[in-house]
């Protein structure tokens, strides 16, 4: 699955930390494609067991961290867990089948 990350239109370059919980019932390879995300900013990618994140060449992989996690099984439980763990959830998306996911990050 390719995860496309771009800032919202009102933000020229996104310069804040991000946390992504990438959960799947089966192990996946998450391919990351980004535009206009500042280098050197911490970004965290927590993936379900057996999954990995692949970064583009020249990407911000040096400032990104990837970690496998055992997530709650149901989406409602995952959302509650994320809110408790991080204090807020700004976006939650559930997809049954997808090859590309487009996410706008910003304020």
At 68-78, the pLDDT tens digits run 999 998 999 99
**Tens digit of each residue's pLDDT (9 = 90 or more) over 24-68:** 999 999 999 998 988 889 999 999 999 999 988 766 667 889 999
Q: What is the 3-state secondary structure (H, E, C) of the chain?
A: CEEEEEECCCCCCECCCEEEEECCCCCCEEEEEECCECCCCCEEEEEECCCEEEECCCCCHHHEEEEEECCCCCHHHHHHHHHHHHCCCCCCCCCCCCCEEEEEECC
- For 36-47, what is each residue's pLDDT tens digit? 988 889 999 999
pTM beyond 0.85: the answer is yes
Give how many domains the chain has, as a whole number: 1
Q: Give the per-residue pLDDT at 58.
A: 64
Host domain of residue 89: 2-105
């Amino acid at each position: 699955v390719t995860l496309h990350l771009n800032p919202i239109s009102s933000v020229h370059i996104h310069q804040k930390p991000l946390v992504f919980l990438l959960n799947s019932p089966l192990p996946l390879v998450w391919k990351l494609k980004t535009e206009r995300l500042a280098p050197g900013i911490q970004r965290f990618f927590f993936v379900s067991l057996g999954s990995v994140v692949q970064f583009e060449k020249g990407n911000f992989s040096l400032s990104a961290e990837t970690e496998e996690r055992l997530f709650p099984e149901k989406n409602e439980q995952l959302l509650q867990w994320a809110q408790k763990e991080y204090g807020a959830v700004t976006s939650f998306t559930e997809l049954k089948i997808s090859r590309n996911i487009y996410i706008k990050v910003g304020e």
